[in-house]
A and B are shown apart, each in its own frame.
Chain A
Amino acid sequence: MPDSRGSMVVSRMWPQALALTFVVGFAILGYLAIRVYQDHAPVPERIIGEDGLLLATGDDIRNGQQVFLTYGLMQYGSVYGHGAYLGPDFTADYLHREAELMAGYYGGGPEAEARAREELRVNRYDPTNGTLVRNEAQIRAFQELQQLYKSEFLNRKRSGAGLGANAVPDAEDCRRITVFIAWTAWTAVARRPGESYSYTNNWPPEELVGNRLTEEAVLWSALSLITLLGGIGALLAAYGRFPQLLGWHGAEERRLKFVPPGQVPLTPAQRATGWYFFAVAGMLVAQNLLGGATAHYHAEDGGFFGIDLARLLPYNLARTWHLQLALFVVSAGFLAGGLFLAPLISGGEPRGQRPLALILLGALVMVVVGSLLGEAASYHGILQGDDRPLWGAQGWEYLDLGRFWQVLLVGGMVLWVIILFRGLRPRLAGESRGNLPYLLLYSALSIPLFYAVGLACRSQSTFAVADFWRFWVVHLWVEDFLELFSTILVACIFAQLGVVSERTAVRVVYLDAILYSVGGVVGTMHHFYFSGGPAVHMALGAFFSAAEVIPLTFLTVEAWTFLHLGARQQAAAGPGDFPHRWAVLFLVAVGFWNFLGAGVFGFLINLPAISYYEIGTQLTANHAHASMAGVYLMLTLAMLIFALRYLLRPEDWSERLIGFSFWALNLGLAWMVFVNLFPLGLLQLGDSVQNGYWHARSLEFFKDHRLIEWLRLPGDAVFIAGGLPLLYLTTKAVLRPRLPLWQGGGAAGPLFREEVPGRSSPPAAPPEASS
């Protein structure tokens, strides 16, 4: 039977190269998954004293980890450098204090310090019976630190240090949490069997216990740099040799007459996206306010202009909501973007799309409200036992939400793919499987698939194993597959706006996917240098993540130009005729932030030799804000504004308000980065090298630099203000929906028609539609 599908608009070499890249990348990642299960830092089943007395069990460690996570302590401080940045890194803090206390127990002075160092470095874990032996000095240090953590953080009499009073009221829970922290400190100093370094590749840097950068870390950092420089040279040479293959040359720009947005008919499902964008704007405003509150904790230690904020909204809860809402804003924006674009791509939509879209919206609202309330109930101790990780908070940073809500969210994403498939089906039927509509569907499928990997993290999973899978979500899902989906959405929008031909758009998408995946898949491991996995993860992670920068350099530079093409379309359309001035400007901003936030700031902290001192400092927050807000938020808002142009009645559209949002969000973010996060991160990195990592991560560090924290406030205020006009306009879009409504029969879209310049043309007629 002859194939009635159209032909591919690009060579078949492109999808074949992409498939090969994925197969090789995931084969290596599969090997690393096996190794992490085999060689992660062990959890002893029994911890005993030299007299044989049982001190703690493996269940204490696992339960302690669960309590640590479900009380939101990973969103307050960190372990292994992973978590939040206000509280201490508990691994480094415990290790430093333990070494000091042991030296004190032995009488103090250089000899006592040397003895403590040696005793800590000796690995007294016996894998044959799962028993770890601790000596008297270590037991006494544990007892003192248990009291210290209880009084300073876990069960304070008065709120402070970013936490409320009696944050963890149960004494047994406090003990288990300390057992878990003490275990992480043990893995950070005890030598890995047969090796001269600890389970964490000698992290954290700590002179008292002789933890220094390993030779492997230096070697792989150097090799990574050589690869990076050589690779960029080779890429630039290839670019110079094959400019026609890699660029967007020679196509004639088209002179387009855009259909006035008020005359473009909207399908029922497109109308429903108004509610999605309203939710996006509402969540954005809440997320920004919470971000302001978390930043304020660095300046005022829990106070908020006289209000005891830590009692009402402790830092860990504010940060959890801030971070979860950031993911919800981007996810909901992308879901809505897909739903809005599908009818434009396929030319119509089947019956039943709107009810399905509204069901999905309901599920989304349920997940957002339910998970945020659940997290509060877990942190405040309202939920108990197994209900805490199920309905409340699992507590892994980025995967904070309770398991029930996590499963529901995966289900919602699957429903979204089904809706998208229904919407695209008319177009898919006659389309080559390698062209843009199919690429949109494939990338949409990857979104629930890679988010679902997070289900492998349970609150009692061995830390290194859970962290391995967690970064599949943080890195592969967010940085690779959301990036791919967003690239395809931008390509679709640009094709819809006549900026590029479909052939160019498809080529850009393949090139992007291949180049990102070459380094990006295995490069996931650059998050995983010091979490207790084997050294091979650090070696391959460093190498591939440096290699990731090579295409990233090329792609961000190309994308920057690519996004400027949109701005040229505006100029070519003539003043006042191009309806998407602000959507395109948001995309120009994406190009800039992608280069700076993801490229420059990301590479600054990528090498093991840098990450060793830097992990968990404000330089990480700097990269996170400049890339998450700079790239993903701006991209989400580009889609929101693109759709809003059609969802709003013409008289409700306001260039002035959208312009205010654009400038406030971008300049506020720039202020936040250049006045606070970047310089403070550099100071913290310097402090880590000079005074030790534990010191750079102490609350005292922030107290010493309060002035620079206060400087951030104007930028935050401007950024928060930037979200308000979007909330106002999206509210109008749902309360005063625009007509006409597409009722089948004609094409949904197109958004423009081509005209020959200089020839007089009749006014643009609306496509077939009924109002």
Chain B
Amino acid sequence: MNFQQGAFGLPTDFREWILLGYILTVVAGAWVLGQLGRAHFRRAQEYAEAGFEYDAELDYYRCPEGERLSLHIIEPGGRVAVYRAAASSCDGCSRKDSCTPHDGGRHLYRPLATWAESDSGRFHQWVAVVMNGGATAVGAVAAIWWAGKPGTGLVLIASMLAAASFVTGLCARAEQFEKKK
């Protein structure tokens, strides 16, 4: 792999290409990780609510049979909202056996914490912070190894992108921490 010396400021050493690609991939991967973690959090919510439609404006659920589940209570601590269908409408429903074992009507639980406030959200966000920190450190090593060589500028730009993502992630975590306090 021989690259034209210094053309367009591109790296001449295959190792520079590898680490340049690596840094950009890890920064992108950290972003994707956040999106995936959020998606799984949402899917877990969708599994629990499958077949039920939520009306955010009027704050109620509608079941597959068209019955309404109104807000019943918000648990102490404000982390979970409980919605309940009228017992009378469930008792006469043909789907009751597969829907709810309760005689008090079908319930739905809606966590009020956002993904970022959840333990799972914190885990995925911290891993993303470490990934960006790692990419920054690798970029710094690459800059030391190949200081002055063609292509170092590109590696430095990629490292700065990683550093910016790292700092942004840290700030977001600090903000959440303050909010929690």
- In the complex, the answer to whether A683 meets B79 with C-beta atoms within 8 Å is no
* B176 beta carbon closer than 8 Å to chain A: no
- Cβ contacts under 8 Å, A758 to chain B: 72-73, 82, 84
Most chain B beta-carbon contacts within 10 A, residue among A585, A674, A687: A674
- Cβ contacts under 8 Å, A591 to chain B: 40
* A581 beta carbon closer than 8 Å to chain B: yes
* B31 beta carbon closer than 8 Å to chain A: no
- In the complex, the answer to whether A568 meets B111 with C-beta atoms within 8 Å is yes
* A735 beta carbon closer than 8 Å to chain B: no
- Cβ contacts under 8 Å, A771 to chain B: none
- Cβ contacts under 8 Å, B19 to chain A: 679, 682-683
Q: Which of chain B's residues 13-48 have a Cβ closer than 8 Å to chain A?
A: 14-15, 18-19, 22, 26, 33, 36-37, 40-41, 43-45, 47-48
- Cβ contacts under 8 Å, B144 to chain A: 707
Question: What residue in chain A is nearest B135 (Cβ atoms)?
Answer: A674
* B76 beta carbon closer than 8 Å to chain A: yes
A 245-271 binary contact with B (CB < 8 Å = 1; else 0): 001111011010000000000000000
The residue that B118 contacts in the complex, of A571, A682, A707, with Cβ under 8 A, is A571
Chain A residues proximal to chain B, CB less than 8 Å: 247-250, 252-253, 255, 557, 560-561, 564-565, 567-568, 570-572, 574-575, 581, 584-585, 588-589, 591-592, 595, 663, 666-667, 670-671, 673-675, 678-679, 682-683, 686-687, 690, 707-708, 711, 756-759
- Cβ contacts under 8 Å, B174 to chain A: none
The residue that A707 contacts in the complex, of B130, B131, B141, with Cβ under 8 A, is B141
- In the complex, the answer to whether B137 meets A560 with C-beta atoms within 8 Å is no
Q: How far is the CA of A678 from the CA of B30 in the complex (A)?
A: 14
- In the complex, the answer to whether A572 meets B109 with C-beta atoms within 8 Å is yes
Stretch in B4-12, B53-61, B94-102, B148-156 touching the partner: B94-102
The residue that A568 contacts in the complex, of B37, B48, B75, with Cβ under 8 A, is B48
Q: Which of chain B's residues 104-153 have a Cβ closer than 8 Å to chain A?
A: 104, 106-109, 111, 113, 118-120, 123-124, 126-127, 130-131, 133-135, 137-138, 141, 144-145
* B172 beta carbon closer than 8 Å to chain A: no
Nearest-neighbour CB distance to chain A for B75, whole angstroms, equals 5
Decide: A570 near B119, CB < 8 A? Known: A247-B47, A674-B131. Answer: yes
Nearest-neighbour CB distance to chain B for A601, whole angstroms, equals 11
Question: What residue in chain B is nearest A586 (Cβ atoms)?
Answer: B123
Q: How far is the CA of A666 from the CA of B48 in the complex (A)?
A: 28
Nearest-neighbour CB distance to chain B for A201, whole angstroms, equals 25
- Which of the four size classes fits the interface of chain B? 35 or more
Question: What residue in chain A is nearest B145 (Cβ atoms)?
Answer: A707
Q: How far is the CA of A735 from the CA of B44 in the complex (A)?
A: 40
Question: What residue in chain B is nearest A663 (Cβ atoms)?
Answer: B126
Decide: A561 near B40, CB < 8 A? Known: A571-B118, A682-B22, A757-B72. Answer: yes
Question: What residue in chain A is nearest B133 (Cβ atoms)?
Answer: A671
- Cβ contacts under 8 Å, B133 to chain A: 671
The residue that B22 contacts in the complex, of A255, A571, A678, with Cβ under 8 A, is A678
Q: How far is the CA of A252 from the CA of B141 in the complex (A)?
A: 53
- In the complex, the answer to whether A667 meets B40 with C-beta atoms within 8 Å is no
Most chain B beta-carbon contacts within 10 A, residue among A564, A565, A683, A758: A564
Nearest-neighbour CB distance to chain A for B25, whole angstroms, equals 9
- Cβ contacts under 8 Å, B141 to chain A: 707-708, 711
* B171 beta carbon closer than 8 Å to chain A: no
Additional pairs, 16, CB under 8 Å, beyond known A561-B47, A757-B107: A250-B51, A253-B107, A253-B108, A253-B109, A567-B119, A568-B48, A568-B111, A572-B109, A584-B119, A663-B126, A667-B126, A679-B22, A683-B19, A711-B138, A758-B73, A758-B84
- In the complex, the answer to whether B79 meets A588 with C-beta atoms within 8 Å is no
Interchain Cβ contacts under 8 Å between A and B, 25 examples: A247-B47, A247-B50, A250-B50, A252-B107, A253-B109, A561-B40, A564-B41, A564-B44, A567-B119, A568-B48, A571-B80, A574-B76, A574-B80, A592-B37, A663-B126, A673-B134, A678-B22, A678-B26, A682-B19, A683-B15, A683-B18, A686-B15, A707-B141, A756-B107, A757-B75
Q: How far is the CA of A666 from the CA of B128 in the complex (A)?
A: 12
Nearest-neighbour CB distance to chain A for B73, whole angstroms, equals 5
- In the complex, the answer to whether B79 meets A589 with C-beta atoms within 8 Å is no
- Cβ contacts under 8 Å, A574 to chain B: 75-77, 79-80
Q: How far is the CA of A671 from the CA of B45 in the complex (A)?
A: 31
Most chain A beta-carbon contacts within 10 A, residue among B15, B22, B45, B123: B123
Question: What residue in chain B is nearest A710 (Cβ atoms)?
Answer: B141
Q: How far is the CA of A673 from the CA of B22 in the complex (A)?
A: 12
- In the complex, the answer to whether A575 meets B131 with C-beta atoms within 8 Å is no
Question: What residue in chain A is nearest B41 (Cβ atoms)?
Answer: A564
Chain B contact residues: helix, strand, loop or mixed: helix
- Cβ contacts under 8 Å, B113 to chain A: 571
- In the complex, the answer to whether B134 meets A674 with C-beta atoms within 8 Å is yes
- Cβ contacts under 8 Å, B137 to chain A: 675, 711
- In the complex, the answer to whether A585 meets B48 with C-beta atoms within 8 Å is no
Chain B residues proximal to chain A, CB less than 8 Å: 1, 14-15, 18-19, 22, 26, 33, 36-37, 40-41, 43-45, 47-48, 50-51, 72-73, 75-77, 79-80, 82, 84, 98-102, 104, 106-109, 111, 113, 118-120, 123-124, 126-127, 130-131, 133-135, 137-138, 141, 144-145
- Cβ contacts under 8 Å, A252 to chain B: 99-102, 106-108
Q: How far is the CA of A675 from the CA of B131 in the complex (A)?
A: 8
The 7 closest A-B pairs by CB, nearest first: A674-B134, A249-B50, A564-B44, A571-B111, A675-B134, A670-B130, A575-B77
- In the complex, the answer to whether B127 meets A667 with C-beta atoms within 8 Å is yes
- Cβ contacts under 8 Å, A667 to chain B: 126-127, 130
- Cβ contacts under 8 Å, B36 to chain A: 560, 595
- In the complex, the answer to whether B44 meets A572 with C-beta atoms within 8 Å is no
Question: What residue in chain B is nearest A685 (Cβ atoms)?
Answer: B18
- Cβ contacts under 8 Å, B134 to chain A: 670-671, 673-675
Nearest-neighbour CB distance to chain A for B125, whole angstroms, equals 11
The residue that A679 contacts in the complex, of B101, B108, B138, with Cβ under 8 A, is B138
- Cβ contacts under 8 Å, A671 to chain B: 130, 133-134
Nearest-neighbour CB distance to chain B for A729, whole angstroms, equals 20
- In the complex, the answer to whether A560 meets B40 with C-beta atoms within 8 Å is yes
- Cβ contacts under 8 Å, A678 to chain B: 22, 26
Nearest-neighbour CB distance to chain B for A193, whole angstroms, equals 36
The residue that A690 contacts in the complex, of B14, B33, B72, B80, with Cβ under 8 A, is B14
- In the complex, the answer to whether A589 meets B123 with C-beta atoms within 8 Å is yes
- In the complex, the answer to whether A249 meets B44 with C-beta atoms within 8 Å is no
Q: How far is the CA of A565 from the CA of B44 in the complex (A)?
A: 6
Question: What residue in chain A is nearest B113 (Cβ atoms)?
Answer: A571
The residue that A567 contacts in the complex, of B1, B79, B99, B118, with Cβ under 8 A, is B118
Question: What residue in chain A is nearest B132 (Cβ atoms)?
Answer: A674
Most chain B beta-carbon contacts within 10 A, residue among A253, A565, A595, A679: A679
Question: What residue in chain A is nearest B103 (Cβ atoms)?
Answer: A756
- Cβ contacts under 8 Å, A757 to chain B: 72-73, 75, 82, 84, 107
- Cβ contacts under 8 Å, B14 to chain A: 686, 690
Nearest-neighbour CB distance to chain B for A553, whole angstroms, equals 12
- In the complex, the answer to whether A255 meets B107 with C-beta atoms within 8 Å is yes
- Cβ contacts under 8 Å, B126 to chain A: 663, 666-667
Nearest-neighbour CB distance to chain A for B143, whole angstroms, equals 11
Nearest-neighbour CB distance to chain A for B33, whole angstroms, equals 8
Q: How far is the CA of A589 from the CA of B33 in the complex (A)?
A: 12
- In the complex, the answer to whether A592 meets B77 with C-beta atoms within 8 Å is no
Decide: A561 near B43, CB < 8 A? Known: A670-B131, A757-B75, A758-B82. Answer: yes
Nearest-neighbour CB distance to chain B for A256, whole angstroms, equals 11
Q: How far is the CA of A155 from the CA of B74 in the complex (A)?
A: 74
Question: What residue in chain B is nearest A559 (Cβ atoms)?
Answer: B40
Nearest-neighbour CB distance to chain B for A226, whole angstroms, equals 24
Q: How far is the CA of A567 from the CA of B119 in the complex (A)?
A: 8
Decide: A249 near B51, CB < 8 A? Known: A675-B138, A679-B19, A757-B73. Answer: yes
Nearest-neighbour CB distance to chain B for A597, whole angstroms, equals 12
- Cβ contacts under 8 Å, A670 to chain B: 127, 130-131, 134
Q: How far is the CA of A52 from the CA of B124 in the complex (A)?
A: 67
- Cβ contacts under 8 Å, B43 to chain A: 561, 564
Q: How far is the CA of A67 from the CA of B17 in the complex (A)?
A: 42
